[in-house]
Amino acid sequence: MVYRGKKNVLGVLVDAIDYEAAVERIIDAAKTRTGLAVSATAVHGVMTGADDEEHRYRLNHFDLICPDGQPVRWALNRLYDCRLPDRVYGPNLMLRTCESAAAEGLPIFLYGSDQAVLNSLRSRLLAYFPRLEIAGAEPSLFRRLEPREKELLVERIRASGAALAFIALGCPRQEVFAYEFRELLSMPLIAVGAAFPFHAGLLPQAPEWMQSHGLEWMFRLVSEPRRLWRRYLYLNPRYVALLAAQATGLRNPDTEGRAPAGDLLYG
């Protein structure tokens, strides 16, 4: 089990952590009904924080920002000699957490994506983990929630009896959700990106060799060019350039950010 603290990557405090330590932290919080904001963050997530002071503030108030992408893990190893043997990939973190939740009798809640994805995801998760209790599942509304809608959603998740929730709204909306709902729900909220459609069998994942060599972005770009071209062709080179500036001491990224003026109420 590896945990070497939070490290500044372009102003975002990323946890130098492995799967075992991350799952243990999540399960411990679920058992004690403690609020815990968790995100598996790749280059896109780091750059969103680097470019937006309010979002950087949110991310840097998370309990765990796991190094989802290989380039984020490489940054931790290069800048801080963390010697992380692997990244903490959101879809895998979700499966490992579900396995432990099933063993511990901790019900889960699924929030995000659409109903077709949730239906398939529920069936496949139960096939993987027959003892897993799925207390509830709700699709995203794909818009900002009204204050009353937020209150009712909190009530429904609480009433479900869930001990932890997986959030799949896309970056940065899912991180905004976890930040804003953390104290209201008093449970781990784990932002897992594309894990829902991946595990539902409705979106292909990159081959393992591409993932291990940091080329997952290329596979996803080819799969969804219209949606992802800007994310990868614009943000990836900027990430490399800014990281080089940090590594050489030309840039000392600020981790303070700016407190958000108000809730965004994403759902």
Tens of each residue's pLDDT in the chain, 267 residues? 899 999 999 999 999 999 999 999 999 999 999 999 999 999 999 999 999 999 999 999 999 999 998 999 999 999 999 999 999 999 999 999 999 999 999 999 999 999 999 999 999 999 999 999 999 999 999 888 888 999 999 999 999 999 999 999 999 999 999 999 999 999 999 999 889 998 998 766 767 776 676 667 666 666 666 766 666 677 888 999 999 999 999 999 999 999 998 777 655
**188 inside domain:** yes
Q: What is the pTM of this model?
A: 0.92
**266 inside domain:** no
Q: In which domain, by residue range, is 157 found?
A: 3-218+229-247
Looking at residue 220, what is its pLDDT?
Answer: 67
**267 inside domain:** no
Looking at residue 263, what is its pLDDT?
Answer: 72
**46 inside domain:** yes
Q: What are phi and psi of 72, to 5 degrees?
A: -75, -40
Q: 10 Å Cβ neighbour count for 152? A: 12
Closest CA to 141 of 166, 112, 168, 119: 112
pLDDT, the chain, mean: 91
**253 inside domain:** no
**265 inside domain:** no
**257 inside domain:** no
**260 inside domain:** no
Looking at residue 127, what is its pLDDT?
Answer: 97
Q: What is the separation of C-alpha 41 from the centre of its chain, rounded to a whole number of angstroms?
A: 5
SS (H, E, C) the chain: CCEEEEEEECCEEEEEECHHHHHHHHHHHHHCCCCEEEEEECHHHHHHHHHCHHHHHHHCCCCEEEECCHHHHHHHHHHHCCCCCCCCCHHHHHHHHHHHHHHHCCCEEEEECCHHHHHHHHHHHHHHCCCCCEEEEECCCCCECCHHHHHHHHHHHHHHCCCEEEEECCCCHHHHHHHHHHHHHCCEEEECCCHHHHHCCCCCCCCHHHHHCCCHHHHHHHHCHHHHHHHHHHHHHHHHHHHHHHHCCCCCCCCCCCCCCCCCCEC
Sign, CA torsion 186/187/190/191: negative
What is the total count of domains within the chain? 1
